């Protein structure tokens, strides 16, 4: 097991290095500079700025500087917000995005699985059509439309919730709803289809024959196997949602880290591009690793460790 984990860790480091290198190559090959604001300027000022951020150095030196900053986990100051380091920005933004993300995931998983099970149990019944109708809507309505609808209906027309900003649990309701609909719908559809498949298996019939209660059959026997595909998508889903959504954070004025993924590229804010890329990749890789381990626990047929170890 230990050997397996070490091997995975090594692969993770190599993957990260490849991602960093590719990002750097892309970053320097895109035209534009961080100092192209619409404001006025002159050559001397531009030179001073380039020098200040080491952008006047040859590419290989810049690359080594980036590698150094990643190894020391100190990405230096943001170019767009020079008085904030990248660590400040991510350190402040991530907890907020993560808080929103965790609540969203909990909501999406619970409601998605419930919908999926209900739909599967009442296959081709009214509940099934209703649940899948909700799921199709959830998948096809983009979250920014959902967000705008929610604000208009629940915050402006009815004043039940605040429009935006990030101050109290009440402020969290609308963004969570807007963010959770999509994943919820996906999870519901996945759960439904695998549940339907599992419910026709022999061992379920066996369980029924033994006279187990329907509740026990579903929770103990069916659900466990039906969850495998859900676990598979959880890795990417968790990494994606917890690192923030650009659109939702912008619409609800949430000070999370989602915006940095997009804005850093628009501004050519190189340290922030590097910081967000490394952070997201590392997070995603770790999540995928956890998913692999979770497989092993949920499904005894998958023995990650042994297969590798033997």
Binding site for other proteins (CB under 8 A): 1, 30-33, 35-49, 51-53, 80-84, 88, 92-93, 95-96, 98-99, 102, 148, 151-152, 155-156, 159, 161-168, 170-171, 250-253, 255, 259, 266, 268, 290, 293-294, 296-297, 305-306
- Residue 96 or 130 having the CB closest to other proteins: 96
- Residue 229 or 296 having the CB closest to other proteins: 296
What is the rounded distance in angstroms from the CA atom of residue 119 to the CA atom of residue 189?
9
- Residue 45 or 219 having the CB closest to other proteins: 45
With CA atoms as reference, report the closest residue to 87 among 96, 78, 97. Answer: 78
What is the rounded distance in angstroms from the CA atom of residue 111 to the CA atom of residue 117?
10
- Residue 78 or 281 having the CB closest to other proteins: 78
Nearest approach, Cβ of 194 to other proteins (angstroms)?
Answer: 23
Phi, psi of 85 (to 5 degrees): -85, 160
Nearest approach, Cβ of 9 to other proteins (angstroms)?
Answer: 13
What is the rounded distance in angstroms from the CA atom of residue 283 to the CA atom of residue 178?
23
- Residue 101 or 138 having the CB closest to other proteins: 101
Nearest approach, Cβ of 95 to other proteins (angstroms)?
Answer: 4
Nearest approach, Cβ of 164 to other proteins (angstroms)?
Answer: 5
Nearest approach, Cβ of 290 to other proteins (angstroms)?
Answer: 7
With CA atoms as reference, report the closest residue to 278 among 266, 263, 260, 296. Answer: 260
Q: Which are the contacts of 135, defined by CB distance < 8 A and separation ≥ 6? A: 115, 184, 185, 186, 188, 189, 192
- Residue 106 or 110 having the CB closest to other proteins: 106
What is the rounded distance in angstroms from the CA atom of residue 123 to the CA atom of residue 118?
8
Residue pointed to by tokens 């999370």? 256
Q: Which are the contacts of 74, defined by CB distance < 8 A and separation ≥ 6? A: 85, 87
Q: Are 288 and 235 in contact (CB under 8 A)?
A: yes
Nearest approach, Cβ of 121 to other proteins (angstroms)?
Answer: 30
- Residue 74 or 152 having the CB closest to other proteins: 152
Nearest approach, Cβ of 263 to other proteins (angstroms)?
Answer: 9
Q: Which three-class secondary structure state does DSSP give residue 77? A: strand
Which structure tokens are listed for 91?
Answer: 């350190």
Q: Are 252 and 166 in contact (CB under 8 A)?
A: yes
Nearest approach, Cβ of 192 to other proteins (angstroms)?
Answer: 27
Phi, psi of 77 (to 5 degrees): -75, 150
In Å, what is the CA distance from 251 to each residue of 92, 147, 150, 229?
Answer: 19, 7, 11, 32
- Residue 49 or 141 having the CB closest to other proteins: 49
């Amino acid at each position: 097991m230990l050997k397996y984990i070490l091997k995975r860790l090594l692969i993770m480091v190599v993957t990260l290095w490849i991602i960093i290198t590719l990002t750097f190559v892309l970053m320097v090959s895109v035209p534009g500079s961080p100092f192209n604001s619409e404001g006025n300027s002159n050559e001397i000022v531009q030179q001073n700025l380039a020098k200040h951020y080491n952008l006047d150095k040859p590419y290989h030196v810049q690359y080594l500087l980036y590698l150094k900053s990643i190894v020391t986990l100190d990405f230096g100051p943001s170019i767009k917000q020079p008085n904030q380091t990248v660590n400040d920005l991510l350190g402040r933004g991530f907890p907020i995005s993560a808080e929103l993300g965790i609540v969203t995931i909990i909501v999406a998983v619970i409601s998605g699985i419930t919908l999926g099970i209900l739909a599967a149990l009442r296959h081709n019944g009214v509940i099934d059509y209703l649940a899948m109708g909700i799921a199709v809507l959830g998948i096809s309505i983009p979250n920014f439309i959902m967000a705008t609808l929610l604000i208009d209906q629940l915050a402006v027309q009815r004043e039940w919730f605040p429009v935006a900003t990030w101050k109290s649990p009440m402020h969290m309701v609308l963004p969570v709803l807007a963010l959770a609909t999509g994943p919820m719908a996906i999870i519901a559809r996945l759960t439904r289809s695998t549940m339907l498949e599992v419910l026709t298996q022999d061992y379920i019939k066996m369980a029924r024959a033994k006279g187990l209660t329907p509740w026990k059959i579903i929770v103990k026997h069916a659900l466990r196997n039906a969850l495998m595909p859900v676990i598979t998508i959880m890795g990417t889903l968790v990494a994606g949602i917890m690192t923030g959504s650009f659109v939702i954070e912008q619409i609800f004025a949430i000070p999370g880290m989602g915006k940095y993924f997009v804005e850093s590229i628009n501004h050519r804010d190189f340290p922030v591009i590097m910081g967000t890329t490394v952070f997201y990749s590392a997070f995603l890789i770790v999540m995928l690793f956890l998913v692999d381990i979770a497989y092993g626990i949920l499904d005894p047929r998958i023995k990650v460790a042994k297969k590798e170890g033997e």
